[in-house]
Structure 1
């Protein structure tokens, strides 16, 4: 499926831009799941929702799943693709709340926002779909990134945990192109809502979450421990073997270092 940058939608939003408004910014993310397999590239649409002074970054499919789950018709979930990324990052009051959904287990951790240190390449400018963009580079969580940003759109929040640029990120990618974000659209929204149900999440440390993720890779069935699903040993072994092989092919997280 081919995606194009929706200039008209962005332009209309830009005219009415207000620092405390509500906006949905869509990015197309191409990512390589297996670091050793160049054919393992998948893509997913990601949302950066800005609700006044709070930003929420998540996949489109996770947003749809959460919004439908909050209604009285959960059967509408059928037909929605399973989100590749089960996390949601809520930025508020200089902290990140990182929510992860390993249904039926739900966890979140809190960390301070570390401002990304950018190296601004001032003499490098290019036009991306009529937007004059400048280049900045950084090293973040074990990867080297290049970002094209436009000061015509004064938003300093970006995809994932990227921040601190003087304009909206139009394109961002690491040196190996394992993670490649491209701006699709920006639209002013009415009645935006954060569907995060904090009460169903258990707070843990980031290190504990990393340990949980490592444990799941070894024994995937541990995420079923809090469910009402009682599989016989043969079924549990089959589940573990299947998902253990799938996990081996998703070995290329966006954060390589803490």
Structure 2
């Protein structure tokens, strides 16, 4: 490889990084069994990213329960799960070690040159397409750690598919402050028998004796949605 060619490559990487140096929002379509469930958003900041349902921050969401996934660059093998139901806010941390295998296969995804990779998560194989043209080692759901942004990722039943990329300030302000921390094993037990139902979410949280000032009965009656991400968490 000539010195001139190496210089062009280096310059290209520098310009590419500068082009995506600001905060970024990526919208994914979440599909199950071929049918679309809804849209989810990945907001990427300097030191962390947040993945959540696009309507997480809407003012009219009422008492619905939503899960957001907080990924910090400083702790790449740990993710923080932010959950809420009505005015009840909790969070927990979960190990997230992903052993990627990058494959020698390429295609165009959303106008970007993408490369194929695979990983086993909870004994299921997920196929990802990532692009080094967008230099963020992140992606939908819990997935991250590839040398570029994950555009699409799927297994036999679920798929996160790129919808759009916005090179602008992310708009949803989701923080860990003022949340009650619980161990992951207790959090996992909250949803062990929950898939599309959520009526026992508040009841189970109340049994943890967290000292939360919530009318669990009335809140439980209002809840009508559980975030489907918990099915694959």
TM-score higher than 0.5 = yes
SS in structure 1 opposite 2:231? coil
Distance in 2, matches of 1:23 and 1:87, equals 20
Alpha carbons 2:43, 2:51 under 8 Å: kept: yes
Matches within 5 A, 1:128-167: 128-167=109-148
Shift of 1:16: 5.2
Gap change, CA 1:163 and 1:218, over 3 Å in 2: closer
Aligned length: 204
TM-score (norm 1): 0.66
User: Could you say if the C-alpha distance between residues 81 and 25 of structure 1 is closer, same or farther in structure 2, counting changes exceeding 3 Å?
Assistant: farther
Say if 2:71 is the partner of 1:91. yes
Q: Any gaps of 5 or more consecutive residues in structure 2?
A: 1-15, 207-212
- Residue number in structure 1 paired with 2:92: 109
Tell me, in whole angstroms, the C-alpha distance in 2 between the residues paired with 1:149 and 1:170. 5
Supply the distance in 1 between the matched residues of 2:185 and 2:95 (Cα, whole angstroms).
14
**Quick check: which one's helix share is greater?**
1
User: Residues 115-139 of structure 1: CA distance to partner in whole angstroms, max 9, x if unpaired?
Assistant: x1111111x2122243221111110
Distance in 2 of aligned mates of 1:205 and 1:102: 18
Q: Is the 8 A contact 2:31 2:38 kept in 1?
A: yes
Q: How many Å apart are 1:99 and its aligned residue? A: 0.6
SS of the residue aligned with 1:196?
coil
- Equivalent residues in 2 for 1:44-55 (5 A)? 44-55=38-49
Residues of 1 paired with 2:48 and 2:163: CA distance? 21
How many Å separate the matches in 2 of 1:186 and 1:214?
34
Q: 1:154-233 maps to which residues of 2 (within 5 A)? A: 154-174=135-155, 176=156, 178-190=157-169, 192=171, 194-196=173-175, 198-199=177-178, 201-214=179-192, 220=200, 222=203, 227-228=214-215
Q: 1:118 aligns with which of 94, 100, 108?
A: 100
**1:132, 1:120 → 2: CA distance?**
15
How far does residue 169 in structure 1 lie from its aligned partner after superposition?
Answer: 1.1
TM-score by length of 2: 0.72
Task: Report whether the alignment pairs 1:43 with 2:37.
Answer: yes
In 1, the alpha carbon distance for the partners of 2:89 and 2:193 equals 15
SS at match of 2:55: helix
The CA distance in 1 between the partners of 2:93 and 2:116, in whole Å, is: 30
| 1:61 aligned counterpart, secondary structure | coil
Pairing 1:56–2:56 present: no
Structure 1 vs Structure 2 CA RMSD = 3.5
Could you report, residue by residue, the CA deviation over 1:209-232 in whole angstroms, capped at 9, with x for unpaired residues?
11122477696261695534766x
CA distance in 2, matches of 1:205, 1:48: 25
CA deviations on 1:111-166 (whole Å, 9 max, x unpaired) are 3442x1111111x2122243221111110123211011111111111111111111
Partners of 2:62 and 2:163 lie apart in 1 by 20
Residue-by-residue CA offset, 1:27-51 (whole Å, 9 max, x unaligned): 111125xxxxx8xx44211111012
